[in-house]
Amino acid sequence: MSVELDVFVGNTTIMDKEVYQLWLNGYTVNDAVKVRIEGGVMEECEASAEVLLSDTMDQYRTFQMCERLLHHPAKLANQLLFQIPPDRQAMLIERYYAFDDSFVREVLGKKLSKGTKKDLDDVSTKTGITLKSCRRQFDNFKRVFKVVEELKGPLVENIRQHFLLPDQLARDYAAIVFFANNRFETGKKKLQYLTFQDFAFCAGQLINNWTLGAVGKTNNMMEDMDVDLDKEFLQDLKDLKILITDKDLLDQHKSLVCNALRGKTNVFNEMEANFKNLSRGLVNIAAKLINAKDVRDFFIDLVEKFIEPCRSDKWTSIDMNLYLTHYTNSAHILDTFKHHAVWTRYMGVIKSCILRMYHD
Amino acid sequence: MPGKLKAKIVAGRHLPVMDRASDLTDAFVEVKFGNTTFKTDVYPKSLNPQWNSEWFKFEVDDEDLQDEPLQITVLDHDTYSANDAIGKVYIDIDPLLCSEAATVISGWLPIYDTIHGIRGEINVLVKVDLFNDLNRFRQSSCGVKFFCTTSIPRCYRAVMVHGFVEELVVNEDPEYQWIDRIRTPRASNEARQRLIFLMSGELQRKIGLKVLEMGGNAVVGYLQCFDLEGESGLVVRAIGTACTLEKISTFPATATHPNNSSPSKDMKDSPQAAPSTLGCRSTHSSPVHSASSRLSQGFSVSVPTLLFAGMKPRHRSSEVPRARQCRPGFGEEAPGVPLSSGPPTPLRAQTFSSFSPSKSYSRQSSSSDTELSLTPKTGMGSGGSAGKEAGPLKALLRQQTQSALEQREYPFFTLTAFPPGFLLHVGGVVSARSVKLLDRIHNPALGNTRSYKLLDWNSFTADEPETRDAWWEEIRQEIKSHAKALGCHAVVGYSESTSICEEVCILSASGTAAVLSSRFMQDGPLDTEHRLSRQPLCVFSTGSERVEGDMGSSASLGFEEVVSPGCGFCHIPYDELNIPFPAQLTYCYCCRRYKVPDVLFTTIDLPTEANVTGKGCLIQARLCRTKKKAQGEGNATAISSLLPFLEYELHTQLMNKLKLRGMNALFGLRIQISVGETMLLGLASATGVYLTALPSPGGIQIAGKTPSDITYEQHISTMQKKINDTIDKNKELYEINPPEVVEEIIGSPIPEPRQRSRLFRSHSESSDEVSELDLSHGKKDAFVLEIDDTDAVEDIHALLTDSPTPAGFYSCNTEIMPGIQNWTSAIQMFTSVRVFRLNANLTNQGLNKIFSDLCENLLKSLYFKLRSMVPCCLCHLNFTVAIPEDELIQVAVTAVAMSFDKEQPLENGKQSGEKTLIKAITENDEQLQFNLELNAETSSHNPLSSPKGLSEVGSHLSARAPSVDYSSFADRCSSWIEQLKLKAHTIRRGSVKTTSSLEKASPLPEGRSRSLRSNRSYSGSSVAVVKMTPLSFIPGAKIIKYLGIINMFFIRETSSLREEGGVSGFLHTFIAEVFAMVRAHVAALGGNAVVSYSMKECVFMENPNKNQAQCLINVSGDAVIFVRESELESTSVQTQSATTHTSNGGEGT
């Protein structure tokens, strides 16, 4: 004796948010039922485990049928198969495209290829996120990446329009696409302390300041304008090397910064002692960015060359802010230093990235 | 050449990829109507082609327009091989043929393939230019409107109800043709879909012709069914009620009449309606009404009715074996039944001639003779019994009504709800079943099997429709004679169904015997003068308890003949001395004048005017009976000998469950018997209520037959206790209070009548009916269950296993739930299907338990699914059971969940207020139509409110005034939520005119908040939202236009069942697709809702071993445009001020 077939179809498609989340999280029907039972929905609604199982299966089926539409969220609004109120549609999309920070940290900056996908079971074991959920998230990244790759215009806007995502989520996806495209290294042990939101912030900075789209040089309709860094700018960055190669300039810069900071910080001595090293670090990073390989190491370099020395000297974030402000501004006072625009564009991003990244 | 059909193919979207190489499609479209085909250009390499074609024009007969669908096929062009079909769209042209329905079909329609399901959408435009054809011998019936709704549609009024129409057409089933062996499943499915489209078109046209012949212009309660008889063919049959309908102008002419001194007006009334709304009431309680109701003294049945009907199959069974042999000479089958002497197709004979005594009449009487041999000698036509106790004049009146109906061959009505005053008395459920053996079609001439349009039934099919017709005729005659035995001349809420298993077919028909008022049946409206002279009597016609409360005083004023409609329909129509079955009669608990039965079963909806105590609930009786596998006649005989027992047991179960809930009446009773190879399945669903007019049901008492052993006694007493507890709990749950309590509370504003009724009672108590008037739940009345065998024990267990509905939920299978009002606009229609596999070798008990659990669990699942809508009521909860295969039970449910506002103060004592509200809310439209109608009739001399009409109304009001306590009414009214509607209602009643001004303050904010809620969810979606509901109305909205009938048939097949998610995945997708297609077609017609939606067929077959499954679904409903009442708000403000004004004026008079 068994139920052979059991379906429920509503004119307005009924979707339970809780079950949807369980489905997204990759729970099997049975596990989902267990979770629901523990959640106490049974007592609440005088239901039995049987009823719960039937409902869960039914919902899962509905979600599976919807999934194909969720791959092209714009279709969800003008498909005829399911009558779903717009607020529900938005919820479905938003949750479908939501991702776990711990998962994204694992794949951030990696090539969104089949190879990476094969390694997802390791990611799954490591993060405790079900493989199914990992696959969905990975496929989402890849899908967004592919669609945006072929589109012109601003990245975030494209994502928002094509995937009907809320602003913040669209920005996060922009960051993921940007990282994947430039293959930034984020997996090294030294970078483990950084959260996805740290990187997303940095990505936002880079997109807004260092890409082609950033400076308005383009007519707004170029491919990859927000994804690729502005090559011309990277080329110009090499000119900054003068700040460390020219001994006078370096000394001058140091004294300007030190004068400004004296008495304002507890770590002045360490700062003064380290100035040249730190300055070399930052300028060298800038000079090397023209090489794609060094772009990948951008974050690791920032940490190794700047953040770690400062941290070992126990700078506070306030110290850091002070230092970077004066370090940036002092360069403009230098007589022989001519590359003010490039310096501002470079240091603006560096400063906000470092400040964001400077935590435990 | 009376019609030009034009179609334009605009674009496609979301097409499937047909060319793997390019991941694109080269799509073009074929547009076919009849034998003409047009093609669009190929739109290369796109999944979203823009064809923007020219207008394709088809010049065709209107007959073809009615029969044929427009067939649109989307194909993928292939240079080297045959073009691949992507899918098809069938468009029913019918809605465009009626001037009052849709004018254009335009929109995105899903492209459907029977193997792949929906594959993208196509945007089309379809129009029809129809030329008038006045040819008297025409074969078309364009312009006849069809409605699935089983009541007078909301924006129409009934001028006349002509009566029963039926038709059936038969064809070979393409699935069983020889060619099916060599063609693809797709071709076979498409052939079938197309054939059924054609057949239903033809059927509809033929019914339309009959309607025109009768002088009608519409079919209401149109019910079309398919019988898939397998090898012996495909039968499409339909029944309906022919009516003459008139459209009511939908919007009130707002600005024009703000100061018009019409006594009652609300936003629903058209202004002209107003002046005579009071006047129109008069007709219900016109002398005709009261006289006849008095004459027909008497009333209903049920228990025995069913039993009575249940015995029929037994009688039939003796004939069954013969049915097969005597196909051509039908007469042999039932020698006693004069049918045989009638014309071969008596229905085609003129049935609506008012003068000829007509063949049908004589036939009827003789048939009842034969049938009556089975029943106690009663009936003989209620006219006779009426004559016995009434004066000759009354008898005459009664006979008039009678004859109007008896001229008809079948005085049947598929309606389940009626204009007020139409339904006078209800006798009880009548049903008939017959078991038939299906004959194989003679091996057909192979050549013409492919032509689907078999208009001339030559050669092999020639006698087919005749046979089927004869079968149904036989059953209808039986129903008619049952009704007669109950002293009724009509059958309402009539429906027919079949269950087929292999070559055995059970035909069933059921309905409710009733006595109807003649006013809708005469040729032409009553003359105005007559009507006006009757107006003073109108006072008591708006059945509600309050009016009833007034009865005392009214009686003192001398109107003794008046019966409150709130209880009138309960009064027995049959002769008390010749009750056709054992029933306990008592005096009506409302009016105390006429006899009522102890319980009442009906197939109709609860009449709006009925007095109900508390809430109702769904009651189901479920039964499984094993049967031996057998073939042919033996099988048929076995089945027919089982049927009576099945029905008897179902009936007992229903009765027990009804008593367990402390209720005394069932509405919407639907008994379904399904036949399988090794079992019979019976499912009876109904909505139980407590009718105030009927006596309180006694409890259930258990008696052991052999009280020998102490433990046994104890067992019995614990069970007894359980049962008593359950009854008490249920009474509390459904708010069923003993009538006395109710009277105490509602009596307060009108103390006088209450005393009067008390007095009345005590008076009658002293008479010799004392025992019947005992309201206590004494053992005397108790229903005794003897548990002397295991069956009875099982029965009792079954009684107690029905789990109560969870908090916040109510359920019913009728349109309205008594005791619930103020619906919000949140509705959720759904279909749920379950198939259960049984183990072999189960006993009857085991089967019963499983079946019962299956239904219970399904209900539980529904409650759980819909928990977010609480508080809510599942309405029109319709179960369909089938036995698709040996050891499989399939249960399908379609219903609508509607949530309601709970915050309304609902003290128990406010029953009468509640009740009025329900009526006001849910049925207001209908009542209004009725008013409008009457108004139009009465005021034909004086359009708009003439001073004359007014003064009449005024004087009539003042005559009543003394008995009404205005202030207490007003107090009560002010707390009501549905003010607008209420006002419409109360003012029309003329008794509470002051309330409108008092309550005026609140309604608007209420309306606003409601509108906010209703608009909340859907906005800015690119796909138009289409609501679907099995009910005939949409809460909080007004239907402003009917766009035509939706009648769609789909087949879906798969040979990759596992890949599509197994059987559940397959069916889930298919049902969702069907919904989507219904919605899309409605939206293309310009509609935003489907009402009276039903899934009439869901045949599911699977072969998991072959990874295959097939499913057939047939759905129908009425496409409508509705407007939220909140959107009519501005209009209502104006009308409101008008109302206030006029009511004040009214008071002054």
Which of B568-572, B761-765, B812-816 shows the lowest per-residue confidence on average (mean pLDDT)? B761-765
Q: What is the pLDDT of residues B138-156, one digit of tens each?
A: 667 777 889 999 988 888 8
Residues of chain B with Cβ-Cβ distance to A75 below 8 Å are 14
Q: Which residues of A touch B864 (CB under 8 A)?
A: 45, 47, 51-52, 55
Per-residue pLDDT, B462 = 42
pLDDT score of B441 more than 50: no
ipTM for the predicted complex comes to 0.89
- Minimal Cβ distance to B1061: which of A9, A55, A61: A61
> How far apart (Å, rounded) are the C-alpha atoms in residues A52 and A57?
9
Of the two residues B834 and B406, the one the predictor is more confident about is: B834
Q: Is the pLDDT of residue B453 over 80?
A: no
Residue B307: pLDDT over 50: no
Please give the Cα distance from A223 to A152 (Å, whole number).
Answer: 5
- CB-count burial class (<10 Å; 0-12, 13-18, 19+) for A249: middle
List, in order, residues 6 or more apart from A305 with CB less than 8 Å away. A278, A280, A281, A282, A284, A285
Q: Which of B4, B649, B536 is nearest to B285 (CA)?
A: B536
Nearest CA in chain B to A59: B865
Is A83 in contact with B1025 (Cβ distance < 8 A)?
yes
Are B829 and B894 in contact by the 8 Å Cβ rule? The answer is yes
Comparison of pLDDT for B625 and B911, the residue scoring more: B625
Candidate from A2, A4, A11 with C-beta closest to B829: A11
pLDDT tens column, B371-415: 333 333 333 333 333 333 334 444 444 455 555 555 567 889 998
The residue that leads in pLDDT, B978 or B171, is: B171
Provide the token pair at A281. Answer: 């670090």
Average the pLDDT over B1045-1074 and give the result.
Answer: 92
Q: pLDDT tens, B993-1013?
A: 333 333 333 333 333 333 333
More confident residue, B138 or B1058: B1058
Mutate to test the interface with B, among A2, A3, A8 (most CBs of B within 10 A): A8
Asked if A9 and B110 come within 8 Å (Cβ–Cβ), the reply is no
Mean pLDDT of chain B: 68
Please provide the size of chain B in residues: 1149
Shortest distance between the Cα of A66 and any Cα of chain B, in A, equals 11
CB contact under 8 A, A80 and B1076: yes
CB pairs under 8 A between A and B: 142
Lowest mean per-residue pLDDT among B471-480, B516-525, B883-892 = B516-525
Percent of chain B with pLDDT over 70: 59
**Predicted pLDDT of residue B507:** 92
Residues B930 and B425: their CA atoms lie apart, in Å, by 19
pTM, to two decimals: 0.77
Mean pLDDT computed over B617-621: 91
Instruction: Please tell me the predicted confidence (pLDDT) of residue B16.
Output: 92
From the list B735, B745, B739, B783, the residue with the least C-alpha distance to B761 is B739
How many other C-beta atoms can be found within 10 angstroms of the C-beta atom of residue B759?
Answer: 12
Strands (E), B704-822: 783-786, 809-811
User: Judged by CB atoms within 8 Å, which residues 58-117 of A form the interface with B?
Assistant: 58, 61-62, 64-65, 75, 77-83, 85-87, 89
Check CB contact under 8 Å for B1068 and A48. Answer: no
Phi-psi region of B409 (alpha: psi -120 to 50; beta: other; left: phi over 0): alpha
Q: Which residue of A has its CA nearest to B854?
A: A3
Please say if the pLDDT value at position B900 is more than 50. yes
What 3-state DSSP class applies to A84?
A: coil
Which pLDDT tens digit goes with each residue over B41-58?
A: 999 999 999 999 999 999
pLDDT tens, position by position, B244-291: 988 876 544 333 333 333 333 333 333 333 333 332 322 232 322 322
Provide the pLDDT for residue B568: 78
Q: What is the pLDDT of residue B708?
A: 61
Residue B786: pLDDT band (50, 70, 90) is: low
The string of DSSP letters for B771-794 reads: HHH--S--TTTPEEEE--SHHHHH
Considering only residues B317 and A28, tell me which one the structure prediction assigns the higher pLDDT. A28
* Whole-number pLDDT of residue B1105: 86
How much is the average pLDDT of B847-864? Answer: 89
Structure tokens at B559: 């109107």
Q: What is the mean pLDDT of residues B540-547?
A: 32
| Residues of chain A below pLDDT 50 | none
Q: Quote the strand ranges of B395-544, DSSP E.
A: 423-437, 490-501, 504-516
A43 at B interface, C-beta within 8 A: no
Q: What pLDDT does B729 receive?
A: 83
| pLDDT tier for residue B904 given thresholds of 50, 70 and 90 | low
Contact between B1064 and A7 using a beta-carbon 8 Å cutoff: yes
Q: Which residues of B touch A65 (CB under 8 A)?
A: 1065, 1068-1069, 1072
- pLDDT score of B215 more than 50: yes
Model pLDDT, residue B148? 93
Q: Which of A7, A55, A81 sits opposite B833 (nearest CB)?
A: A7
pLDDT greater than 50 at residue B341: no
Q: Which of B63-72, B183-192, B370-379, B779-788 has the lowest mean pLDDT?
A: B370-379
Confidence category of residue B842, pLDDT binned at 50, 70, 90:
confident
Point out the residue among B837, B1019, B1063 whose CB comes nearest to the CB of A86.
Answer: B1019
Residue A112's contacts (CB-CB under 8 Å, 6 or more residues apart) are A138, A141, A142, A145, A180
Give the torsion through C-alpha atoms of B860, B864, B869, B871, to 10 deg.
50
Nearest to B1063 among A5, A9, A64 (CB): A5
Q: Nearest residue of B to residue A48 by CA position?
A: B860
Check pLDDT > 60 for residue B104: yes
Q: What's the whole-number mean pLDDT along residues B1066-1090?
A: 94
Give the integer Cα–Cα distance in Å for B11 and A348: 52
Q: Using the predicted structure, report yes or no on whether residue B476 has a pLDDT greater than 60.
A: yes
State whether B1064 and A57 contact (CB < 8 Å).
yes
Count other Cβ atoms within 10 Å, centred on residue B527.
Answer: 9
Q: Is the pLDDT of residue B937 over 60?
A: no
Bigger pLDDT: B438 or B531? B438
DSSP letters spanning A295-341 = HHTHHHHHIIIIIHHHHHTT--HHHHHHHHHHHHHHHHH-SS---HH
Contacts of B252 by beta carbon, 8 Å cutoff, 6+ apart: B265, B267, B268, B269, B270, B271, B1131, B1135
- Using CA atoms, how far residue B813 sits from B494, B603, B868, B889, B1115, in Å, is 16, 11, 21, 21, 18
Query: Residue B1129: which pLDDT band, with cuts at 50, 70 and 90?
Result: low
Q: How much is the pLDDT for B678?
A: 87
What angle in degrees, to the nearest 10, is found between the helix axes of B632-660 and B790-801?
A: 60
Give the pLDDT of residue B42. Answer: 93
Q: pLDDT grade, residue B1014 (50/70/90)?
A: very low
List C-alpha distances in Å: B309 to B426, B483, B761: 16, 10, 35
Amino acid at B251: F
Measured distance CA(B908)–CA(B930) in Å, rounded: 31
Query: Would you say B290 and B562 are in contact if contact means Cβ atoms under 8 Å apart?
Result: yes
Mutate which of B805, B864, B1017, B1115 to test chain A, going by most A C-beta atoms within 10 A? B864
